[in-house]
Amino acid sequence: MSYLAITFPPDFSSENLFMAVTREAQVITPAEALSRLVTGNKRFVYGNPRYGHDVTQAAATAGGQQPHSVVLGCIDSRVPLEAIFDQPFGSICVARSGAHVLDRSLIGSVGFAVAELGVSLVVVVGHQRCGAVNATVKALRAGTVSEGEIGYLVDQLAPAVREVGIDDPDAAEKAIRAHVIRTTDRLHKVESLAAAMAAGRINVVGAIYDLDSGWVEFLS
């Protein structure tokens, strides 16, 4: 039987270890957090990701975490948020649901990341060809009523589809963008998040992920 030898990556110097330990003292601004996501997405798109899913990275963050952002995205298997932003373990909190539809649990999780984990940025990431949004467009056009759990998603997505017009040939793609904006607007109104925003401690932004190119477009 052979045993797995765990080796540290080349840049795992004592200096980096020291930085990891002292990182807790750092205050990451919303602008710096956004910059980390933008540059990470660039690395991903250009095929130069810095971070993988290496056990040494897991071990390096086992003692604590200081995530800079909480990212809310869709459950779609083509949109792994840590990968598209090329972020290491311990750097972003991730919350996902169908078409990033909000409920109390997700809002509570975002609030926890802000209040207890000290993240500086909340990002809502929609994506092209979202199955949940497509299903909603289809249901509204056919006039059918979706039951149960899927019905909840459809009900939550319907306002964005109606906003862009169900007869618009590009209703689904336009609704994805509208739904991101509606979701960020809703988060802006959550009391604890609004207070943190007013104090300049956090920012809440929307974004769209391009499945074909890998780019994330941040909405202003």
Tokens of 138: 């289809």
With contact defined as beta carbons under 8 Å apart, do 152 and 170 qualify? no
Question: Considering beta carbons, is residue 99 or 119 the nearer one to Zn ion?
Answer: 99
Indicate whether 101 belongs to the interface with Zn ion (CB under 5 A). Answer: no
Q: What single string gives the DSSP state of each residue in 75-120? A: --TT--HHHHTT--TTSEEEEEEGGG---HHHHHHHHHHHHTS--S
Q: Which parts are annotated binding residues for Zn(2+)?
A: 74, 76, 127, 130
Tokens of 4: 């797995």
CB of 74 vs Zn ion, minimal distance in Å:
3
Q: Which stretch binds Zn ion (CB under 5 A): 98-106, 138-146, 153-161, 201-209?
A: 98-106
CB of 200 vs Zn ion, minimal distance in Å:
32
Contact pick of 33, 84, 93, 130 for Zn ion (by CB under 5 A): 130
CB of 216 vs Zn ion, minimal distance in Å:
14
Q: What are phi and psi of 143, to 5 degrees?
A: 75, 20
Q: Which parts are annotated binding residues?
A: 74, 76, 127, 130
The type of residue at 95 is: A
With contact defined as beta carbons under 8 Å apart, do 30 and 196 qualify? no
**40: helix, coil or strand?**
helix
Binding mask 47-86 for Zn ion (x = CB under 5 A): ---------------------------x-x----------
Q: Which stretch binds Zn ion (CB under 5 A): 7-15, 28-36, 124-132, 183-191?
A: 124-132
Question: Considering beta carbons, is residue 88 or 214 the nearer one to Zn ion?
Answer: 214
What is the chain's alpha carbon radius of gyration, rounded to the nearest angstrom?
Answer: 19
Enumerate binding residues for Zn ion (CB under 5 A): 74, 76, 99, 130
